[in-house]
Amino acid sequence: MTKDNILQELITLSRELGQEHRQLAILGEGNTSALCEDGTFWVKASGSYLGSINELGFSRVFLDQTLEMLQMTTMSDTEVDTGLQKVLIDPSHRKPSVETFLHAVFLTDGGAKYVGHTHPTSVNSILCSKLGAEPFLHHIFPDEIVVCGRFPLIIPYVDPGLKLAKTVQKSIQHYKEQYGSLPKMVLMINHGLVALGQTPKEVLNITLMADKWAKIILGGYSLGGLSHLPEDQVNRIENRLDEQYRRAHLAKG
């Protein structure tokens, strides 16, 4: 697939995530990215609005050069700003989002080809509460296991940008060591949701299912608490052949 075809898919995904009635991202919230096959990736430009974004709302950047900046011990805000300009393939493109570093990590260490970062009202109602991500650590219905994965990656609140990307990079490595796999859903406390997919459809599916999951959590608490699935049933759902088939089919769209 050419870089232009990938960009068109990313535009479609971004507009889906940015539909205001879904309350996943409003105004300039959220960002998306997609990996190209030539060592570059597309990422939302700073300040672009997902709901109406077009080609001008994205920047294409060098992957390796972006990752090299993560090796720096410290960088001032000015140095980060300058660095983001330097990683542009085309200097005429707008400055990429400060979360470009985060996307570079997800597209490499995270194994994703498409990334969708949103701030769903439902999910953040929980992540910004005293409970944090704890309600998402226990499964309550089969579809959220099939679509969002067995274990979410939980990230404490960290200053967005370079520091957050470094934290996530270390957390993904720990996740791989603990579970022997990669996460599909990332929950960032007091911040938002990240969906990691191999296709745009998978990213959208994860985001929409996380939104539904959060709404059911909130509804369950309003009626006295949640009824969690037993661990043996969670493991059964995760490993059933028919559910694995359905997961793969859903990701293709």
Kindly state the helix (H) or strand (E) to which residue 122 belongs, with its residue range. Answer: helix 121-127
Confidence of residue 245 (pLDDT cuts 50, 70, 90): confident
Q: What is the pTM of this model?
A: 0.94
User: How does pLDDT run across 177-217, given as a tens digit for each residue?
Assistant: 999 999 999 999 999 999 999 999 999 999 999 999 999 99
DSSP-assigned beta bridge partners for residue 192: 188
- pLDDT at position 237, please? 87
Q: At what angle do helices 3-17 and 200-222 cross, to 10 degrees?
A: 20
For residue 211, the Cα-to-chain-centroid distance in whole angstroms is 13
Q: What is the pLDDT of residue 81?
A: 87
What is the tens place of the pLDDT at every residue in 72-82? Answer: 878 888 888 88
Interior CA angle at 14 toward 70 and 203, to 5°?
Answer: 75
Question: For 18-69, how does the pLDDT look when each residue is reduced to its tens digit (9 = 90+)?
Answer: 999 999 999 889 999 999 999 999 999 988 999 999 999 999 999 999 999 9
Q: What residue segments make up the domains of the chain, in order of their start?
A: 3-252
CATH of 3-252, one of 3.30.70.2500, 3.10.20.30, 3.30.365.10, 3.40.225.10: 3.40.225.10
State the sign of the Cα–Cα–Cα–Cα dihedral 229, 233, 235, 241: negative
Amino acid 179 reads Y
